[in-house]
Amino acid sequence: MGTRSWKFIGLGILIAIIGSAGYILFEFADVLLLSLAIAYIAYPVARWMYRKKPKKDIRYLFSSLIAVLIVTVPIILAIFYGINYLMRWFIDNLPAVQSGLFASNLKDGLNAMGFGVMSERIASEIGKIMIGLSGKMGEILMRPTWLVDLLLRVVLFFITAFYFIYEGPAIKKFILKNIPKKERFIQELMESFDKICYGLFVGHFFTSIIIALMFGVIYWVSFQPSLFAVAFLTMIMFVVSFLPVIGPWSMYIPLGLWHVFLLPDSMTRGIVFFVLSVLFLTIAPDLYIRPMLVKRESDIHPLLIIFGFFGGPILFGIKGVIIGPLMLGLAQAILKLYIEKRHILKELLEHF
């Protein structure tokens, strides 16, 4: 067997190993992306605790661990409380949903609100969505390993976030150190990537906080519940707003429908709550608050952020909420670098 044949065999083995590694990592891409987001959020906390430029020693290890705990423990607890809340809501209302009573009450309520002939169509579509969601949740809960899978992802999420913070500065330093100085285009692209990730994740984090606070105000104004209920639901709203795709709608739609159609004398307040939630928890954050916060830190154009958040999930599923804005942000950075510093790109292409 000639030298050329051995090269092809070696290349094939290399591609198989890299492909297998990529497949394994893609299976946990949601955990990796969420951990990266948490790392960007918790990293300033670790640096503040360390008080100097990070380096891999025992003090920075504990600073990283404590920073991850400060950020992740409330989120993990709220996730479990949120799952428990959603499961209880679906279990309590499952008979009404599957029997058609929910859709029937919804139709009567829409008729009373003046929707006329559209009432049956709207009620039928919403009823189908609720049946689909309840069926999907039932499939997940009936799967023998769903709890083990969830706990595994939570553990991996915590460990990965810790290593991103602890190893991150060293990895970044290693990459920048091994990029030749004359390849300035790649260096500036790496800096743009770091800036885009920071702006995207930190902007999304603060947007989730704003959504949660606005939800607390809207819920209290609409129904005047106890302060404990407001605080608890506000915490859950922060989590569902922060997690990819789940979004605030997964809370305010069930709450609004519950108050409108399943509680006596609560229709008007439920409608007010639903309208305010759509305006201030979905439309305003997606079209203004999140794009402005991300642009402030990363210089991504707001229109690209909007396209990324809406188009990413269509192409990549849940992961697309992060991948979409990230890819469009990098495309903008490459185009901007080409326009402003095309001579650097020319030097890079000539080098290859």
- Give the pLDDT confidence of 218-269 residue by residue, as tens digits: 988 888 888 887 888 888 888 778 765 567 877 787 777 777 766 666 677 8
Give me the helix-helix angle, 146-177 and 58-99, nearest 10°.
140
- Give the pLDDT confidence of 129-149 residue by residue, as tens digits: 777 766 666 666 667 677 787
Specify the long-range contacts of residues 221-230, CB closer than 8 Å, at least 24 apart.
Answer: 221/276, 222/269, 222/270, 222/272, 222/273, 222/276, 223/259, 223/266, 223/269, 223/273
Of the given ranges (104-108, 237-241, 326-330), which has the lowest mean pLDDT?
Answer: 104-108
pTM: 0.67
pLDDT on residue 158? 86
| Residue 96 near residue 262 (C-beta atoms within 8 A) | yes
Which string of DSSP letters, residue by residue, matches 232-269? HHHHHHHHHHHSTTTTTHHHHHHHHHIIIIISTT-HHH
Highest mean pLDDT among 78-82, 83-87, 207-211, 226-230: 207-211
**Sequence spans of domains, the chain:** 1-176, 179-352
Phi, psi of 53 (to 5 degrees): -60, 130
Dist. CA 292–CA 294, nearest whole Å: 6
pLDDT on residue 204? 79
- The pLDDT mean for the chain works out to 76
| Residue 189 near residue 337 (C-beta atoms within 8 A) | yes
pLDDT on residue 3? 63
- Give the pLDDT confidence of 163-178 residue by residue, as tens digits: 888 888 877 777 777 7
Q: Between 92 and 274, whose confidence is greater?
A: 274
Dist. CA 189–CA 183, nearest whole Å: 10
Q: What is the mean pLDDT of residues 143-157?
A: 78
pLDDT on residue 122? 74
| Percent residues over pLDDT 90 in the chain | 1
Q: pLDDT tier at 346 (50, 70, 90 boundaries)? A: low
pLDDT on residue 343? 56
Q: Is the pLDDT of residue 297 over 70?
A: no
- Give the pLDDT confidence of 25-67 residue by residue, as tens digits: 877 877 887 888 888 888 888 888 888 877 878 888 888 889 8
Torsion of CA 312, 317, 318, 319, to 10 degrees: -60
Q: Is the pLDDT of residue 352 over 60?
A: no
Q: Between 272 and 97, whose confidence is greater?
A: 272
pLDDT on residue 154? 82
Q: pLDDT tier at 214 (50, 70, 90 boundaries)? A: very high
pLDDT on residue 258? 73
Q: Is the pLDDT of residue 197 over 80?
A: no
